[in-house]
Amino acid sequence: MQCITVGLDERSYPIYIGRDLFAQLSRLLPQLPNQILIVTNQIVAPLYLEQVQQALGDGQLVTHIIGDGEGEKSLHNYQHIMDTLIAHSFNRDCAVIALGGGVVGDLAGFVAATYQRGVDFYQIPTTLLAQVDSSVGGKTAVNHPGGKNLIGAFYQPRAVIIDTDCLATLTDRDYACGLAEVIKYGIIHDAQFFEWLEAHSQDLIQREPQAVAYAVRRSCEIKAEIVAADEREQNQRALLNLGHTFGHAIEASHYDSWHHGEAVAAGTAIAAEFMRQQDELSDQDAERIRRLLQACNLPVVAPSMPLSQWQDYMQRDKKVKAGQLRLVLPTAIGAACLRTVTDWDRVASAISACNSACNEHD
Ligand SMILES: NC(=O)c1ccc[n+]([C@@H]2O[C@H](COP(=O)([O-])OP(=O)(O)OC[C@H]3O[C@@H](n4cnc5c(N)ncnc54)[C@H](O)[C@@H]3O)[C@@H](O)[C@H]2O)c1
Ligand SMILES: O=C(O)C(=O)C[C@@H](O)[C@H](O)[C@H](O)COP(=O)(O)O
Ligand SMILES: [Zn+2]
């Protein structure tokens, strides 16, 4: 088992990464209180809930099971989970555990952040995306019809337990979504990791255990380092949003057909094309980004949408400042910047050129 610390002074917490960790939960989390709410969903519950319940022992263990999909990350479900906590007379010294992917984690985290002004929160992520990204760093949220994650809070978990064995039951599609966020870390922060991903993309696609373990560990190390340096996204944490301004617009307008990781992948390809067109990213690096995303079975072409629709969603991005759009853009493999962008023609040109460049290449 590996342990990475997210260093936030008295709110520092461990990320445990290993195999067969569900069985070791009570040893890893000795400080758990008597009242525990497990939030999970209808797919994960039949697979892992019993194992987790058994490992947690005899306290007052209540489970709240939500439906599947991004639509469940809603104020409606938030209210229902609050109803469950209140119906069972949970006190402020209770704990909320998220057992599931990013949807469960973001929703349960927002509940934990706000129930009685904040109760202990633990993340047990079961998708690759949640293991490498959403369970770490304390961004919690629900969606609003107007956009992704518009209602939420920064609220750190007390611990994150990553059991990589549970990735075995993930669909290929959802597994690939996690790789989009893994590739993001290479692009924004670590050229060597990007090279390693290029060399091991096939091992990763085949879920070769050592390759998966390394990708999860390195991703968590990078995220932990960035969050420790800038918890509230005042500067460098914004880089974790590479591809997301485009991605959120795609996702929020296509919840049923596009998953988060897919939207981020297409958004990352557009961001790279944007910089290539300004001569601020070499043709070669833009091509490497596109190729790696494709090698990991991720889309690099966005769905067709009128520019006005892109604008509506992108203007609601949380990085917008004084009404001006700010995008995270790659300047090289291993480096990115946050840039104010006022010229929508350039945005439109990157979206359409990215799509036609892809058609030319394939
Ligand atoms: N808070 C953050 O920092 C952060 C970071 C990245 C993404 N996110 C959010 O995370 C969400 C996407 O997360 P996701 O990709 O995990 O989606 P998800 O939670 O919808 O999970 C994807 C699918 O996998 C299923 N599943 C979960 N674990 C499984 C397992 N072990 N075996 C089989 N199926 C399993 C789920 O039921 C779902 O159908 C989005 O809402 C996104 O905005 C948040
Ligand atoms: O942790 C962060 O910071 C991120 O931006 C990680 C992203 O992968 C994640 O999708 C996050 O939820 C996006 O946040 P938002 O602030 O753009 O809603
Ligand atoms: Zn993301």
Residue-wise pLDDT for 289-323, tens only, equals: 999 999 999 999 999 999 999 999 999 999 999 99
Asked whether residue 27 falls in the same domain as residue 132, the answer is yes
Segments of the chain assigned E as strands: 2-6, 13-18, 35-41, 60-66, 95-100, 120-125, 139-144, 147-154, 159-163, 325-332, 335-341
Question: For residue 360, is pLDDT > 50?
Answer: no
Rounded CA-CA distance 184/233 in Å is: 17
Residue numbering of the annotated binding site for NAD(+): 68-73, 102-106, 126-127, 139, 148, 166-169
Determine the atom of ligand 1 nearest the C-alpha atom of 136. Answer: 3
- The verdict on the CB of residue 41 being under 6 Å from ligand 1 is yes
115 and 228 in a single domain? The answer is: no
For the segment 163-172, the average pLDDT, to the nearest whole number, is: 98
The pLDDT of 239-254, averaged and rounded, is: 96
Q: Which ligand minimizes its atom distance to the CA of 238?
A: 2
Q: State the total domains in the chain.
A: 2
Token pair in block for residue 140: 């919690």
Predicted-complex ipTM score: 0.99
Tokens 């569900």 found at: 22
Same domain, 127 and 197: no
| The domain boundary residue, chosen from 147, 169, 191 | 169
Instruction: Name the phi and psi angles at 98, rounded to 5.
Output: -95, 120
**Ligand 1, atom 7, residue with closest C-alpha:** 134
For the record, the structure tokens of 279 come out as: 């001569």
Report pLDDT for 361: 42
- Annotated catalytic sites, by residue? 117, 139, 181, 223, 233, 237, 241, 244, 248, 260
Half-sphere exposure of 29 (CA within 13 A, CB side): 30
For ligand 1, whether the C-beta of 276 sits within 6 Å is: no
Tell me how far apart the 2 most distant CA atoms of the chain are, in Å: 61
Separation of CA 131 and ligand 1 centre (Å): 9
CA dist., res. 147 & res. 64, Å (int):
25
* Inter-residue contact 127 to 99 (CB < 8 Å): no
Same structural domain for residues 196 and 295? yes
Of the chain, the percentage scoring pLDDT greater than 70 comes to 98
Position 256 scores a pLDDT of 86
Domain that holds residue 109: 2-169
Q: Is 68 in the pocket of ligand 1 (CB under 6 A)?
A: yes
Backbone angles phi, psi at 138, to 5 degrees: 80, 15
Are 246 and 349 within one domain? yes
> Within this chain, do residues 119 and 255 fall inside the same structural domain, yes or no?
no
Do 179 and 160 lie in one domain? The reply is: no
Atom of ligand 2 nearest to the CA of 318: 16
The bound ligand whose nearest atom lies closest to the alpha carbon of 113 is: 1
Task: Give the pLDDT mean for 148-170.
Answer: 97
Rounded CA-CA distance 307/335 in Å is: 28
Claim to verify: residue 231 and residue 164 sit in the same structural domain: no
Per-residue pLDDT at 357? 59
The DSSP code for 362 is -
Say if residue 144's pLDDT is above 50: yes
Across residues 238-258, what is the average pLDDT? 94
- Cα–Cα distance list, 354 to 139, 144, 178, 303 (Å): 30, 29, 22, 12
Give the residue-averaged pLDDT of 321-328: 96
Choosing from 169, 201, 234, the residue where a domain stops is 169
The percentage of the chain sitting over the pLDDT mark of 90, rounded to a whole number, equals: 94
Q: Check if 130 has its Cβ closer than 6 Å to any atom of ligand 1.
A: yes
Does residue 140 contact residue 112 with C-beta atoms inside 8 Å? yes
Q: What CATH number does the domain containing 8 carry?
A: 3.40.50.1970
- Which pLDDT value is given to residue 362? 43
Which residues, in sequence order, are CB contacts of 180 under 8 Å at separation 6+? 129, 243, 261, 262, 264, 265, 268, 293, 296, 298
Check: CB of residue 273 under 8 Å from CB of residue 346: no
Q: Are residues 157 and 184 in the same domain?
A: no
Per-residue pLDDT, averaged over 240-265, amounts to: 95
Q: Does 344 have pLDDT greater than 50?
A: yes
* Mean pLDDT score, 2-20: 98
Shared-domain flag, residues 126 and 177: no
Q: Rounded to the nearest whole angstrom, what is the distance from the C-alpha of residue 244 to the centroid of ligand 3?
A: 6
* Same domain? 216 vs 312: yes
Residue at a domain's end among 169, 201, 232: 169
Question: Which residue owns the Cα nearest ligand 1 atom 13?
Answer: 102
* 358 has a pLDDT exceeding 60: no
**Residue 255 pLDDT level (bands cut at 50, 70, 90):** confident
pLDDT tens, position by position, 93-102: 999 999 999 9
List, chain by chain if needed, residues with CB within 6 Å of any ligand 2 atom.
133, 137, 139, 148-149, 181, 233, 237, 240-241, 244, 318
Q: CATH number, domain at 306?
A: 1.20.1090.10
Assess whether 145 and 263 both reside in one domain: no
> Residue 57: its pLDDT value, please?
84
pLDDT tens digit string along 101-133?
A: 999 999 999 999 999 999 999 999 999 999 999
- Residues contributing to the annotated binding site: 68-73, 102-106, 126-127, 139, 148, 166-169, 181, 244, 260
Strand 147-154 relative to strand 139-144: parallel, antiparallel, unpaired?
antiparallel
Mean pLDDT rounded to a whole number for the chain? 96
Residue 115 C-alpha to ligand 2 middle, in angstroms? Answer: 22
